């Protein structure tokens, strides 16, 4: 089978041939139909992601496909089931084996592409805003990097939870995408974020995927008792947080890493995915996918992600639809 694989530390991933895997007793083999790309894939390729596997390994953190083979100790899944898998790795391949407790059946109404795009971005935003920040109806949510994969989902979920949403993104085209997702107020990345947000009454919850100076400006525009969610650092700089300022305004900085919950509270992720799949079936959320590419163009997809030439998600299509 074909896989987009990193063979040695520091090497770029390449398409290569490898043997078809066989599932262990508590695993399933999935014929993969789609895989969502994430900024973490870029970090893994550099070896700087907190959960980078040892080499060799196959990139691809979130997949959708069809169960092809089931281990002897897996009673709840069967060949032919349409499933999503938050795999963490191994998704950019024609086939993969995954622990059964990471596999969830998807609704018949959900495409493989949507199932591959919904897990990490929507799951991160849902857990961050509902479980961690406890966003309340009527509060103001500031989303930075709002046209990116997680940013658009934060806008959608924030609106579903009754918040007023301020979206910050770079350029008119990306701001239009954020507006279509439901943002109430738009701020270009070239504008003074701190003053613009304060003029709108300040932010009660900050959902920041950029870091660096953007986080610092958002920090200064946060209302007393506000909650800040550092989701990622696409700008390249991990911000240093002045603890004395936290005291003055009684602020909370809340870490969110969806992969961590799979290790100590997997039910948080499973419950979130169940909610998100239901919302999708009800037409309340719809992933924005700007690019769908074949497996042979996985490197191009990562390049688009790195150069910020995409909005929402990039999905790699693998094999032919059923």
Query: Do residues 317 and 33 lie in contact, with contact meaning Cβ atoms separated by under 8 Å?
Result: yes
Looking at residue 281, its pLDDT comes to: 96
Three-class SS of residue 93? strand
CA 242 – CA 211 distance, rounded (Å): 14
Looking at residue 9, its pLDDT comes to: 85
- Average pLDDT of the residues in 199-213: 97
Which CA distances in Å does 8 have to 38, 54, 306? 21, 9, 21
- Average pLDDT of the residues in 193-197: 98
Look at strands 27-36 and 95-99 and give their pairing: antiparallel
Query: Do residues 81 and 108 lie in contact, with contact meaning Cβ atoms separated by under 8 Å?
Result: no
Looking at residue 105, its pLDDT comes to: 96
- Average pLDDT of the residues in 265-275: 95
pLDDT grade for 233, boundaries at 50, 70 and 90: confident
CA 128 – CA 4 distance, rounded (Å): 30
Looking at residue 206, its pLDDT comes to: 98
Instruction: Please state the pTM of the whole predicted model.
Output: 0.91
In this structure, the number of other CB atoms found within 10 A of the CB of residue 61 comes to 25
pLDDT single digits (tens) 130-169? 999 999 999 999 999 999 989 999 999 999 999 999 999 9
Looking at residue 319, its pLDDT comes to: 81
CA 84 – CA 283 distance, rounded (Å): 19
Asked whether the predicted pLDDT for residue 320 surpasses 60, the reply is no
**List of residues 6+ apart from 6 with CB closer than 8 A:** 12, 13, 44, 45, 55, 56, 57, 58, 59
In terms of phi and psi (left: phi > 0; alpha: psi -120 to 50; beta: otherwise), the region of 236 is left
DSSP 37-78: --HHHHHHHHT-STTPPPSSEE--SEEEEEEEEE-TT--S--
In terms of phi and psi (left: phi > 0; alpha: psi -120 to 50; beta: otherwise), the region of 10 is left
- Average pLDDT of the residues in 288-300: 96
pLDDT single digits (tens) 15-58? 999 999 999 999 999 999 999 999 899 999 988 888 899 999 99
pLDDT grade for 232, boundaries at 50, 70 and 90: confident
Prior bond of 147 cis (ω within 30°) = no
The tokens of 236 are what?
């390249």
Looking at residue 322, its pLDDT comes to: 46
Looking at residue 10, its pLDDT comes to: 82
DSSP 222-269: EEEEEEEEE---TTS-PPPP-HHHHHHHT-EE----HHHHHHH-HHHH
Average pLDDT across the chain, whole number: 95
In this structure, the number of other CB atoms found within 10 A of the CB of residue 78 comes to 11
Q: Which residues in 272-294 are b (16+ Cβ under 10 Å) and which e?
A: bbebbbebbeeeebebbbebbbe
pLDDT grade for 215, boundaries at 50, 70 and 90: very high
Beta bridge partners of 103: 85
Asked whether the predicted pLDDT for residue 321 surpasses 60, the reply is no
């Amino acid at each position: 089978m074909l896989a987009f694989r990193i063979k040695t530390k520091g090497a770029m991933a390449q398409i290569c041939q490898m043997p078809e895997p066989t599932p262990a007793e508590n695993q399933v083999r999935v014929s993969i139909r789609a895989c969502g790309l994430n900024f973490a894939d870029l970090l893994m390729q550099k070896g700087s992601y907190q959960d980078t596997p040892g080499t060799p390994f196959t990139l691809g953190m979130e997949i959708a496909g069809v169960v092809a083979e089931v281990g002897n100790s897996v009673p709840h899944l069967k060949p032919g089931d349409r499933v999503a898998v938050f795999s963490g790795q191994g998704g950019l391949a024609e086939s993969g084996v995954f622990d059964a407790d990471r596999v969830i059946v998807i609704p018949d109404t959900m495409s493989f592409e949507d199932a591959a795009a919904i897990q990490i971005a929507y799951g991160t935003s849902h857990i961050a805003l509902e479980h961690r920040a406890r966003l309340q109806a009527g509060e103001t949510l500031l989303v930075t990097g709002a046209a990116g994969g997680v940013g658009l989902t934060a806008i959608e979920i924030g609106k579903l939870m009754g918040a007023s949403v301020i979206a910050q993104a770079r350029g008119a085209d990306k701001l239009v995408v954020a507006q279509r997702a439901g943002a109430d107020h738009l701020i270009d990345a070239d504008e003074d974020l701190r003053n613009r947000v304060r003029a709108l009454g300040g932010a009660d919850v900050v959902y920041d995927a950029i870091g660096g100076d953007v986080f610092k400006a958002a920090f200064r525009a946060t209302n007393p008792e506000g909650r800040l969610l550092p989701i990622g650092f696409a700008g390249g700089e991990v911000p240093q947080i002045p603890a004395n300022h936290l005291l003055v305004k009684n602020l909370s900085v809340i870490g969110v890493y969806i992969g961590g919950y799979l290790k100590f509270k997997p039910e948080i992720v499973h419950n979130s995915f169940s909610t998100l799949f239901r919302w999708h079936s009800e037409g309340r959320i719809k992933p924005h996918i700007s690019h769908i590419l074949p497996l042979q163009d996985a490197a191009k997809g990562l390049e688009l992600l790195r150069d910020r030439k995409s909005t929402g998600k990039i999905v790699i299509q693998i094999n032919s639809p059923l």
